[in-house]
Structure 1
Amino acid sequence: MGDETGLATRRSFDGSAVAVATSIMNVATYGFTMIAARIIGPSEYGAFAACLGLLIVVQVGALGLQATAARRIAVDRGNVAAIESAILSLTTKVAGGAGVLMLMLAPAIDVLLNLDSLATAVVVAIAVVPLTIAGGQAGILQGERRWGALAVFYLAGGIPRLLVGTAIILWRPDATAAITGVAIGFVFPVLVGWWVLRHRRTSAEAAPEHSARAMLRESAHNSQVLFVYFSLSSVDIFLARHVLDEHDAGLYAAGLIMTKVMLFLPQFIVVIAFPDMATPANRQRALVRSLLAVSGLGLVVVAGAWVLSGVAMIFVGGSNFGEVEDLLWVFAVLGTVLAMLQLQVYAVLARQGRRAVMLVWGALAAVVALGLQVDTVAGLVGVVVGVDSVLLVVLTVISLRIATRPTPPPTPLPA
């Protein structure tokens, strides 16, 4: 009993460490973005923001590798060392290939993002390499539930970017320097991952289901699912610029700051819950507890945005965006729904569902079709909240039904 209590306490402490680390990482990342906006000026910041947007899209490859590594290690504890070796090898190859491809596309990126600087596009291409490698490393630590090491990994992903990046843009205040700071920041978690995993490499061969081809195929599927989720969570800002005038589009963008705050706050819950959601015996409990935790946190934020809307406006943009104050609680609701949807999307990845992904694509199409019919800030956020909420309910029902099914016996490996 004492050992079990001690283990539970240690897991709780490690889980808290991940929560604190992800919060610090997000604050540091947000802080550097705001500092860059003030130092490099509007025109250069526009180019910098465009580069960050491209990296967010490209990041789905790293997140796909992370989900693959975490799921496979969590499910097959007997092949951890071999899976780890295989995923590290695959990650290195994918990172190298992605880097070369992005370098080849650098001239096109320069034109597409209107950077007027091939050097900036080249830095973006180089940044993809450590970003992708970090995904595989994080997945291994997540799958093995090494929360303390993962917490350090996340801290290394935020604090160095803030410190090194700020120093670089103070020296040279332009978009190239800012994205260089981001690229250098990506290297630090890779170094942490290398150090933590340096003694765990093995030449052992994994079972056939853990071949490089199988893991690459799963990673591609995961990336596609995450891509459509990120599209769903971001498409409304593009719709706002299309259906609203410039002033109202700015108000909508300000309101989305509240949405993003709520979306990022419970990220640690997804990280900690994912390995358990991949394990049939723990799937239902992990999903229900996580949904309750995210919804509880969301209720607090929604209530705060409603009661303390004046205080929240300080972080949203101040008096210049005062017209959106009465809708801040709605944007907080949207953030809560998106955070719970993110949890459901990872539940789909954990069980490697295929058909449920079509529902997310359908929701994306519905948001676009209905969003094009409105012409007010309240109307657009109402459409997005409505469609996303319906999708959340449907995915929750599907996930809970699947989670309650009897666990099938393991399939014997071929001789």
Structure 2
Amino acid sequence: MSDVPERPVGAGGGTVAVATSVMNVCTYGFTIIAARLMGPTQYGAFVACLSLLIVVQVVALALQATAARRIAVDRTHVAAVEQTILALSTKVALGIGLVLCLLVPAIDALLNLDDLGAAAVVALAAVPLTLAGGQAGILQGERRWGALSCFLLAQGVPRLVVGTAIILWRPTATSAILGVAIGFLFPVAVGWWLLRHRRVPEAGAPEHSARSMLVESVSNAQVLLAFFALSSVDVVLARQVLPEHEAGLYAAGLIMTKVMLFLPQFVVIVVFPDMAERDSRQRALVRSLLAIGLVGVVAVVAARLLSGVAMIFVGGAEFAEVEHLLWLFAVLGTLLAMLQLQVYAVVARQGRRAVLLVWGALVALVVVGLRADSVAGLVTAAAVVDGALLVMLTVVSLRIARQPEPVDSGPPPAQP
């Protein structure tokens, strides 16, 4: 018997889509407000702090994937998974926070903050950020889409409201990252409220021990880290191979790429539990790839025909030189969105070898990208490498999905 009722995707996909969109708009809006109120120097320090938190967030996403996958594939031990993942998330969160607190001087020097207070706030912010990962994974695995939508809204709206208020009071990098840290407390509080009625496990589940979940989370983290590195390395390459002005144009074009990456994010959230189950894995993957691809085609055409409108969101007239390439950045974003789905498909089936393809693509992009000498050349190189990786992962995923499920022949015969 399942510990929780099954909730169909269609019943909550729309609410998750709206909640994810609001969360991303609030996050993006807060970043824009911070840039306008703080000035280049303080804003640069703030972005550096956010970059470190993005790396830390990989741990939270790994815990979330572990919880969601295990609940999806083992509906009889939901209570045991829930109890273990919450305890593990708390320990990991406190551990990461402690380590970062000890490294405050190093963080201050590495990010060139000249402010130990800002580095300390980053260390403290890592605790609720990581803890929220386990909570979100439980809601996702149980397919509680309405509750998960509230959780996602709590991730975005408080950051915009509280963060903006703090910056208006004191427009510094420390204040901005403090607003982010306070914003992280809201989803944790919402998650605690939604999961307050904890079920007591009826029987032991040694296969869901804290050790096994930790090992799986570490594996998930390195898969997700490979994807984040692949999706971000081109902006670093732009700073190395292009003149400063063209590197700025490339960074502006990447705004379109990031929009296309995060626009269909709700698809990944909703279908992940289905991709973890063998019976629905292939259907969920194919339909989701087609859905993201269709959204991408519409966006690419719009970026080509309505490039002037798109420039309003990219940066305005100051970056007009990149306008004719916005459709190509939209293509890159669509490929990354489809790759993100494939990477989570790898996590859902706990593939060990497929991640080598992601790391290999990262190396290939660095090699090819270092030879680029223009904005168009670099974005084309990134799109070609990402497209090749997408094809390879799709072939691997479909081959695995079509393999027959192993038949349990029972215990071996007794030996005389």
TM (norm. structure 2) is 0.96
Distance of 1:72 and 1:160 partners within structure 2: 30
Query: Could you say which residue in structure 2 is the equivalent of 1:156?
Result: 154
The residue that corresponds to 1:51 in the other structure is 49
- Where 1:77 maps in the other structure, the secondary structure is coil
CA distance in 2, matches of 1:105, 1:225: 25
Q: Is the 8 A contact 1:60 1:227 kept in 2?
A: yes
The residue aligned with 1:4 is: none
Conserved in 1, the CA contact under 8 Å of 2:6 and 2:142? no
Task: Tell me the SS of whatever aligns to 1:354.
Answer: coil
Change (3 A) 1:91 1:412: farther
Counterparts of 1:202 and 1:60 in 2: how far apart (Å)? 29
Q: Could you tell me which residue of structure 2 aligns to residue 236 of structure 1?
A: 234
Question: 1:40 offset after TM fit, Å?
Answer: 1.2
- Equivalent of residue 331 in structure 2, options 324, 333, 344: 333
Identify the residue that residue 222 of structure 1 maps to in structure 2.
Answer: 220
1:144-187 Cα shifts (integer Å, max 9, x gaps): 00000000000000000000010111111100000000001011
Cα distance between partner residues in 2 of 1:35 and 1:183 = 17
In the other structure, the counterpart of 2:310 is 312
Alignment gaps of 5+ in structure 2: 412-416
Structure 1 vs Structure 2 CA RMSD? 1.6
Cα shift at 1:202? 2.6
Residue correspondences, number: 408
> In structure 2, what is the Cα distance between the partners aligned to 1:112 and 1:55?
14
**What SS does structure 1 have at the residue aligned with 2:406?**
coil
Matches within 5 A, 1:200-279: 200-202=198-200, 206-279=204-277
Which residue matches 2:14? Answer: 16
Mapping for residues 396-411 of structure 1, pairs under 5 Å: 396-409=394-407
Match of 1:89 in 2: 87
Contact kept in structure 1, 2:6 and 2:143, CA below 8 Å: no
1:409 Cα deviation from its structure 2 partner: 3.9
CA distance in 1, matches of 2:212, 2:408: 18
The one-letter amino acid paired with 1:366 is A
The one-letter amino acid paired with 1:157 is Q
Residue type of the partner of 1:141?
Answer: L
Whether the 8 Å CA contact 1:26–1:264 is kept in 2: the answer is yes
Contact 2:60 2:131 (8 Å CA) reproduced = yes
Report the secondary structure of 1:252's partner residue.
helix
**Which letter maps to 1:81?**
A
Amino acid at match of 1:319: A
Check conservation: 2:77, 2:201, Cα contact below 8 A. no
How big is each residue's C-alpha offset from its partner over 1:237-291, in whole Å with a ceiling of 9 and x where there is no partner? 0000000000000010000000000000000000001000000000000000100
Structure 1 range deviating more: 257-266 or 12-21: 12-21
Please give the alpha-carbon distance, in whole angstroms, between the structure 1 residues aligned to 2:71 and 2:220.
16
Structure 2 partner of 1:3: none
d(CA) in 2 for partners of 1:411 and 1:42? Answer: 66
TM-superposed CA distance for 1:316, in Å, is 0.5
Q: 1:137 matched to which residue of 2?
A: 135
Report the equivalent of 2:414.
Answer: none
Match status 1:300 vs 2:298: yes
Tell me the distance in 1 between the aligned counterparts of 2:189 and 2:100: 22
Which residue pairs with 1:372 in the alignment? 370
Give the deviation of 1:124 after TM superposition: 0.3
Question: CA offset at residue 207 of structure 1?
Answer: 1.9
Q: 1:10 to 1:69 in 2, by over 3 A?
A: closer
2:7–2:143 contact (8 Å) kept in structure 1: no
Q: One-letter code of the match for 2:393?
A: L
Unpaired segments of 5 or more residues in structure 1?
1-6
Secondary structure in 1 matching 2:198: coil
Equivalent AA in structure 2 for residue 149 of structure 1: A
Instruction: Give the superposition deviation at 1:395.
Output: 0.2
**Cα offset, 1:205, TM superposition:** 5.3
Matched, 1:25 2:23: yes
Q: Which amino acid in the other structure matches residue 328 of structure 1?
A: L
Note if contact 1:281-1:407 (Cα within 8 Å) is conserved in structure 2: no
Deviates more, 1:95-104 or 1:9-18: 9-18
Q: Which residue number corresponds to residue 356 of structure 1?
A: 354
Give the whole-Å Cα distance in 2 for the aligned partners of 1:139 and 1:205. 22
Shift, 1:209, TM fit: 1.5
* Matches of 2:312 and 2:169, distance apart in 1: 29
Checking the alignment, whether the CA contact within 8 Å between 2:158 and 2:183 is kept in structure 1 is yes
In the aligned structure 2, how far is the partner of 1:373 from the partner of 1:86?
Answer: 48
Residue 101 (structure 1) aligned with residue 99 (structure 2): yes
* Separation in 2, partners of 1:110, 1:61: 22
Alignment of 1:58-77 (within 5 A): 58-77=56-75
Counterpart selection for 1:390 from 371, 388, 391: 388
Give the Cα–Cα distance (whole angstroms) in 2 for the partners of residues 390 and 269 of structure 1.
22
